[in-house]
Amino acid sequence: AQRVTQPEKLLSVFKGAPVELKCNYSYSGSPELFWYVQYSRQRLQLLLRHISRESIKGFTADLNKGETSFHLKKPFAQEEDSAMYYCALMVGGSEKLVFGKGTKLTVNP
Amino acid sequence: KAGVTQTPRYLIKTRGQQVTLSCSPISGHRSVSWYQQTPGQGLQFLFEYFSETQRNKGNFPGRFSGRQFSNSRSEMNVSTLELGDSALYLCASSPFVPYNEQFFGPGTRLTVL
């Protein structure tokens, strides 16, 4: 069975502080992982995908197959980063996404 | 390009009724997926359609069904509504390039009384 776990429902940091949103997965195949973000009153949208190995808005995420993790990191949080963040696993050979329950990030001034 | 559109945006029904939700994908996208979002269960996959064929189905009862038309527009239907079906239903479209981004619509908020 496929499962994505985000252990923190809420995460609060101060502006300029580093932030790490945790994501662990369980999947027997080769994982393809994503981070989606939902800003207030906006649609769910892709933040980054592991296969691209890119940095978006200062965020990065590294796939660690040994620890089955895909944590999202940013060295200096900004107030505009406040949002709901979802880690998602794409099931091989399909467009099916398995989502974690999400972490609400609040960046305080 | 216009984004994914969903109609209606809000819907109120009573138990036992049925409902049909509609999704228009981004032009050129041939894959459409549906998700149910609730506070307790989060985002759960319902089904995925590609070229009018259901390719994947989530773990939902048979009361939940869907279809896709030749123009890639999709509908989902829920029959014999239950209180627990109250949720935000999200549609996402994709160009069906492997591991590509899914583009989400604003959702339809269904309330079952």
Q: What does the pLDDT look like over A81-104, one tens digit per residue?
A: 999 999 999 987 778 899 999 999
Residue type for A51, please?
I
A68: left (phi over 0), alpha (psi -120 to 50) or beta: left
Average pLDDT, chain B: 94
Question: What three-state secondary structure class fits B50?
Answer: strand
Q: Which residues contact B109 (CB under 8 A, 6 or more apart)?
A: B9, B10, B11, B88
* Residues in a beta bridge with A32: A90
Residue numbers in B near A95 (CB within 8 A)? 31, 33, 48, 50, 55-56, 92, 94, 96, 102
Tokens 């989060």 belong to residue: B42
Burial class for B83, CB neighbours closer than 10 Å (0-12, 13-18, 19+): exposed
Q: How far is A76 from chain B (nearest CA, A)?
A: 26
Measured over the CA atoms of residue A13, residue A15, residue A17 and residue A18, the dihedral's sign is positive
Across the interface, whether the CB atoms of A94 and B55 are under 8 A apart is answered yes
Do the Cβ atoms of B105 and A97 come within 8 Å?
Answer: no
- Give me the residues of B, 69-108, that contact A with CB < 8 A: 90, 92, 94, 96, 99, 101-106
Instruction: Grade residue B98 by pLDDT with cuts at 50, 70 and 90.
Output: low
Encode pLDDT of A45-87 as tens digits: 999 988 777 888 999 998 998 999 999 999 999 999 999 999 9
**pLDDT tens digits for range B47-93:** 999 999 999 899 999 999 999 999 999 999 999 999 999 999 999 99
